[in-house]
Amino acid sequence: MKNKSDEIQLMDKDGKPVEIPVEGSIGLLALGHIGLLAWRKKRKEVADEASKGK
Protein backbone atom coordinates (compact mmCIF):
# COMPACT_ATOMS: atom_id res chain seq x y z
CA MET A 1 0.00 0.00 0.00
CA LYS A 2 1.45 3.34 -1.06
CA ASN A 3 1.32 6.36 1.19
CA LYS A 4 0.53 9.13 -1.26
CA SER A 5 0.93 11.84 1.36
CA ASP A 6 4.69 11.30 1.43
CA GLU A 7 4.89 12.97 -1.93
CA ILE A 8 2.37 15.74 -1.40
CA GLN A 9 3.31 19.29 -0.74
CA LEU A 10 0.55 21.67 0.29
CA MET A 11 -0.26 24.17 -2.43
CA ASP A 12 -2.62 27.12 -2.43
CA LYS A 13 -5.27 27.79 -5.10
CA ASP A 14 -2.66 29.41 -7.33
CA GLY A 15 -0.40 26.39 -7.12
CA LYS A 16 2.13 28.07 -4.82
CA PRO A 17 3.51 26.16 -1.82
CA VAL A 18 1.66 26.98 1.39
CA GLU A 19 3.60 28.46 4.29
CA ILE A 20 2.94 26.18 7.26
CA PRO A 21 2.69 28.02 10.58
CA VAL A 22 4.76 26.29 13.25
CA GLU A 23 1.96 26.76 15.80
CA GLY A 24 -0.46 24.95 13.47
CA SER A 25 -3.99 25.96 12.51
CA ILE A 26 -7.47 24.50 12.35
CA GLY A 27 -7.19 24.75 8.57
CA LEU A 28 -4.34 22.25 8.66
CA LEU A 29 -6.29 19.94 10.99
CA ALA A 30 -9.28 20.09 8.66
CA LEU A 31 -7.11 18.97 5.75
CA GLY A 32 -6.63 15.71 7.61
CA HIS A 33 -3.47 13.65 7.50
CA ILE A 34 -1.62 15.81 4.98
CA GLY A 35 -2.18 18.90 7.10
CA LEU A 36 -1.15 17.07 10.23
CA LEU A 37 1.97 15.61 8.68
CA ALA A 38 2.93 18.94 7.12
CA TRP A 39 2.53 20.66 10.49
CA ARG A 40 4.56 18.02 12.33
CA LYS A 41 7.25 18.26 9.66
CA LYS A 42 7.39 22.01 10.12
CA ARG A 43 7.60 21.65 13.92
CA LYS A 44 10.45 19.22 13.54
CA GLU A 45 12.28 21.51 11.14
CA VAL A 46 11.92 24.44 13.52
CA ALA A 47 12.98 22.33 16.50
CA ASP A 48 15.99 21.02 14.57
CA GLU A 49 16.91 24.56 13.62
CA ALA A 50 16.61 25.65 17.23
CA SER A 51 18.75 22.78 18.47
CA LYS A 52 21.38 23.57 15.83
CA GLY A 53 21.47 27.14 17.02
CA LYS A 54 22.17 26.12 20.60
Partner 1 sequence: MKQVKASSGFAKKVLLIGWDAADWKVINPLLDAGKMPALNKFINEGVMGNIATLEPVLSPMLWTSIATGKYADKHGILGFTEPDPTTGGVRAVSGTSRKVKALWNMFTQVGLKSNVIGWWPSHPAEPINGVCVSNHYQRASRPIDQPWPMMRGTVHPKNLQEEFAALRIHPGELTEAHVKPFIPKLAEIDQEEDKRLEMFMKILADTATIQSAATWTMENTEWDFMGVYFDGIDHFSHGFMKYHPPKLPIISPKDFEIYKDVVQGGYIFHDMMLERLLELAGEDTTVILVSDHGFHSDHLRPLALPKEPAGPAYEHRPYGIFCMKGPNIKKDELIYGATLLDVAPTVLTMMGLPVGEDMDGKPLIQAFEKPVQITKIPSWEAVEGESGMHEEEQIEDPIAAKEALDQLVELGYIDKPDANLEKARETAVREAKYNLARCYMGSERYVKAIEILEALAKEFPDESRFTIRLASCYKSTGEYGPAREMVQRTKLLFEKEAEKLRKEKEEKGQKVPDSAMEFPTLDIIEGTILLEENKPKKALELFRKAKVSAPSAPNLFLYLGRSFVLLKKWKEGEEAFRNAIKADKDKASAHHGLAICLLRQNKLEEAVEESLTAIGLNFNFPVAHYHLGEALYKLGAYQNAAEAFEACLKQNPTIGKARNHLIEMYEKQLAKPASNSMYEDVDLTELVEQTAEKRIEEQKELIKQKSLGTITIVSGLPRSGTSMMMQMLERGGMEIFTDKKREADEDNPKGYYEHELVRNTMRNKKWVKDVGDKAVKVISHLLFHLPSRYQYKVIFMKRDLGEVMLSQNKMLVNNNKAKEGVYRAGVEAAYRKNLTKVEKWVEKNHNVEVLYVDYSDAVHNPEKVALEVKKFLNLDLNTKEMSAVADAKLYRNRTN
Q: Which stretch binds partner 1 (CB under 8 A): 12-20, 22-30, 46-54?
A: 22-30
Residue 3 CA: distances (Å) to CA of 37, 44, 48, 51, 54: 12, 20, 25, 30, 35
Q: Which is nearer to partner 1, 2 or 52 (CB)?
A: 2
**Residue 5 within binding range of partner 1, rule CB under 8 A:** yes
Instruction: Catalogue the E-assigned strands of the chain.
Output: none
Among 9, 14, 17, 26, binds partner 1 (CB under 8 A): 26
| DSSP H helix total and E strand total for the chain | 2, 0
State the residues that interact with partner 1 by CB under 8 A.
Answer: 1-5, 21, 23-27, 29-34, 36
